[in-house]
């Protein structure tokens, strides 16, 4: 059995984002034989059919083609998907269908109130169109303002952080099993 190469996509552009912290935590708890690359989407221009694909988009396409599966960390903006993540997926939706077709994906997010429940629901709808196979469990709707996170946005060394880390490890194990 070969290496499982996962691609992480963070919908927040902030360096100290708690959603980026979720992806960093996922990197730390990956099962043996699996790796997670976090792809930076901050340089992506807004999608327009009239634009020539910039190099950053071509690189993203190459990473997606070689990825075994995906981990998306989605913040919630105004009850929906953060624009940066939606934009990245919009660029990919113009590629041939097989770019995502049938590949497994995991979703997690950190935000206020209900975590990112509404954004994750909307992201699942987009994933149907992209033909991604999104895992249902465990669901990770983290409160970004809880003691589970430190000031850098990383999962903290607290009891709340430990519980979150365990949930992320379970999610990554489930994802790798489906790759």
Q: Based on the number of CB atoms within 10 Å of its own CB, is 48 exposed (0-12), middle (13-18) or buried (19 or more)?
A: exposed
- Which percentage of the chain shows pLDDT scores above 70? 98
Q: Is the pLDDT of residue 1 over 80?
A: no
**pLDDT-based confidence at residue 2 (cuts at 50, 70, 90):** low
Within 13 Å and on the Cβ side, how many CA atoms surround 35? 7
pLDDT of residue 131: 93
Distance CA 100, CA 69 (A): 9
Predicted confidence (pLDDT) per residue in 53-91, tens digit: 999 999 999 999 999 999 999 999 999 999 999 999 999
- C-alpha dihedral sign at 62, 6, 152, 142: positive
pLDDT given for residue 3 in this prediction: 87
Q: Does 149 score more than 70 pLDDT?
A: yes
Least confident of 40-49, 76-85, 88-97, 115-124: 88-97
Q: What is the pLDDT of residue 113?
A: 80
Longest dimension (CA), the chain: 50
Mean pLDDT of the chain: 94
Q: Is the pLDDT of residue 129 over 80?
A: yes
The pLDDT assigned to 68 comes to: 97
Q: What is the mean pLDDT of residues 34-45?
A: 97
Neighbour count for residue 167 (Cβ, 10 Å): 18
Domain count, the chain: 1
Domain that holds residue 158: 4-178
Which domain CATH number covers 12? 3.40.50.360
Model pLDDT, residue 56: 97
């Amino acid at each position: 059995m070969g290496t499982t190469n996962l691609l992480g996509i963070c919908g927040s552009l902030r360096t100290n984002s708690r959603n980026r912290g979720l992806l960093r935590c996922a990197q730390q708890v990956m099962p043996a034989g699996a790796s997670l690359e976090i792809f930076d989407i901050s340089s992506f221009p807004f999608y327009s059919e009239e634009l020539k694909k910039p190099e950053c988009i071509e690189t993203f396409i190459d990473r997606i083609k070689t990825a075994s599966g995906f981990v998306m960390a989605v913040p919630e903006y105004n009850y929906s998907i953060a624009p940066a993540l939606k934009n990245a997926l919009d660029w990919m939706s113009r590629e041939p269908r097989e770019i995502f077709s049938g590949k497994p994906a995991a979703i997690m997010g950190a935000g206020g109130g209900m975590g990112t429940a509404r954004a994750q629901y909307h992201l699942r709808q987009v994933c149907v169109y992209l033909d991604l196979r999104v895992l249902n469990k465990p669901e990770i709707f983290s409160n970004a303002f809880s003691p589970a996170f430190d000031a850098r946005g990383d999962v903290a060394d607290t009891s709340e952080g430990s519980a979150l880390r365990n949930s992320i490890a379970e999610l990554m194990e489930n994802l790798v099993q489906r790759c």
